Amino acid sequence: MVTEYMRSKRATWADRTAWNNEALYTRHIAPHLAHLIAAGVLPGRLREYFELLSVARPGEEGMMRPPLGYSGQRQVHVLLHGAYAHAIADGLLRDNPAQYARPLSPSKGGAVKEAKVKHFEPEDLARFVTVALGDRFALPLAFLAYTGLRIGEALALTWGDVRQDDTGAPYVSVSKTRSEFEGKYYAGGPKTSAGVRRVYLSGDALGIVEDMRARVAVEARALKYQGAGVAETAPVFPSVDGRPMRQDSLRAVMRRTCEAAGVEVLSPHALRHSTGTFLISRGEDPVSVAAMLGHAQVSTTLNIYAHALPGKLRGLGYELSDLRGRGQGRAAPAPLEAPTVPGGGPLEVEGGTGEGKTRAGVSPVRRGAVRKGGPRRKV
């Protein structure tokens, strides 16, 4: 049922989506469900299946497969739900058990916990960037740190994407991504429409681009060079032979650079998280940070980088003097004056409760008294 569904959707899926779903089926669905009759699978059986994915289990060649995270389980659920819905539309089945059985999210007591956002502290990031700037192969990593781009977005940049706005400010136009999946290359658009954006370059980031331009111009003179040099369609960060740089190669450079800088070995994506964390902790506008990172919603930015906010909560309290404007050049508010009656004297109420007759002869106001035209004002 699932393989038939994937075959029918192959023409409408992007290559990366198709490859990812095939891998999910091969690694996580087929070993546990492929031997079952689709019509006989009840919601309870699927719930047991998702619980199984949450723990380590035997994999290929006797190797233990680690627990599948909540995000991966959701992808499996989407694939199963779509396969059942497709079979129901074709009149082959009546019920969709995936509609009533979903992976349990960590917020609701699921066994699989979301990984903490890994990032460099500013001091470690400075050491990392310093080492990366001295290594031709690590220059794309320094660029990731300065811009917050995803690794696939940076490797997809071409020289035609390096531009200037009307004021002469340099930026890169992000509109595509490039990656590999199980030995296959994938090029396409960003994850969401918000991923299509301008990312303005600081002086250091622009310096990396100009450094790469000079290096590529020299490398393009080699006899066996296979790229287009600094042509508009050529990559900004190619390999030395001109071919596009591979993500796995850049990840190997990441490890080497971390070790040389004496910092924790993290993935290239941690550089993006380091940028977001630093900008939020510095007090930058979350809307601007979200636009820079290509998040579709500001809430995504705040949810990911909420760990950068606790330190900013210190000092958010205020005192009475702040409300009165003392010490801030603002005049203190004038004291309240006692209310008066038409005769000109102050209005006094016996007992201070508003009950009984007033000395000015005004009829007493009973709590909750109502008159035509609305409730009577209380004194």
- What digits encode the pLDDT tens for the residues 149-161? 999 999 999 999 9
Q: Which of 38-47, 300-309, 350-359 has the highest mean pLDDT?
A: 38-47
Map tokens 């005004």 to a residue.
Answer: 362
- Taking the C-alpha atoms of residue 239 and residue 205, their distance in angstroms, rounded to an integer, is 19
Helix (H) or strand (E) holding 374: strand 374-375
- Taking the C-alpha atoms of residue 293 and residue 275, their distance in angstroms, rounded to an integer, is 9
Residues whose CB falls within 8 Å of the CB of residue 293, separated by 6 or more in sequence, listed in order: 148, 272, 275, 276, 301
Q: Higher confidence at residue 299 or residue 368?
A: 299
25-40 mean pLDDT: 94
pLDDT band for 107, please (50, 70, 90 cuts): low
pLDDT band for 339, please (50, 70, 90 cuts): very low
Nearest in space to 147 (alpha carbons), one of 314, 293, 333, 45:
293
- The three-state secondary structure class of 172 is strand
Residues whose CB falls within 8 Å of the CB of residue 60, separated by 6 or more in sequence, listed in order: none
Residues whose CB falls within 8 Å of the CB of residue 69, separated by 6 or more in sequence, listed in order: 112, 114, 115
The reported pLDDT for the residue numbered 342 is 47
Q: Is there a contact between 362 and 376 (Cβ–Cβ < 8 Å)?
A: no
- Taking the C-alpha atoms of residue 319 and residue 328, their distance in angstroms, rounded to an integer, is 13
Q: Tell me, what amino acid is at 223?
A: L
pLDDT band for 366, please (50, 70, 90 cuts): very low
Instruction: Report the chain's mean pLDDT, rounded to a whole number.
Output: 83
- Taking the C-alpha atoms of residue 120 and residue 340, their distance in angstroms, rounded to an integer, is 66
If you ran DSSP here, which 8-state letter would residue 209 be given?
H
**pTM (2 d.p.):** 0.68
- Taking the C-alpha atoms of residue 90 and residue 193, their distance in angstroms, rounded to an integer, is 33
Q: Tell me, what amino acid is at 71?
A: S
The reported pLDDT for the residue numbered 152 is 93
pLDDT of 354 > 70? The answer is no
Question: What is the dihedral sign for C-alpha 172, 208, 153, 234?
Answer: positive
Distances (CA, A) of 178 to 23, 206, 355: 19, 21, 79
Backbone angles phi, psi at 342, to 5 degrees: -55, -25
Q: What is the DSSP string of 157-218?
A: -BGGGEEE-TT--EEEEE--EEEEETTEEEEE--SSGGGSEEEEPPHHHHHHHHHHHHHHHH
The reported pLDDT for the residue numbered 59 is 74
- Taking the C-alpha atoms of residue 149 and residue 292, their distance in angstroms, rounded to an integer, is 8
The reported pLDDT for the residue numbered 117 is 78
Structure token digits, residue 342: 């038409």
CB atoms within 10 A of CB 238: 25
Map tokens 């599948």 to a residue.
Answer: 68
Map tokens 């047991």 to a residue.
Answer: 48
Nearest in space to 218 (alpha carbons), one of 132, 136, 129, 135:
136
Q: Is there a contact between 154 and 140 (Cβ–Cβ < 8 Å)?
A: yes
pLDDT of 11 > 70? The answer is yes
Q: Is there a contact between 226 and 243 (Cβ–Cβ < 8 Å)?
A: yes
Q: What is the DSSP string of 102-167?
A: -PPPGGGT-SSPPPPPP---HHHHHHHHHHHTT-GGGHHHHHHHHH---HHHHHT-BGGGEEE-TT
pLDDT band for 358, please (50, 70, 90 cuts): very low
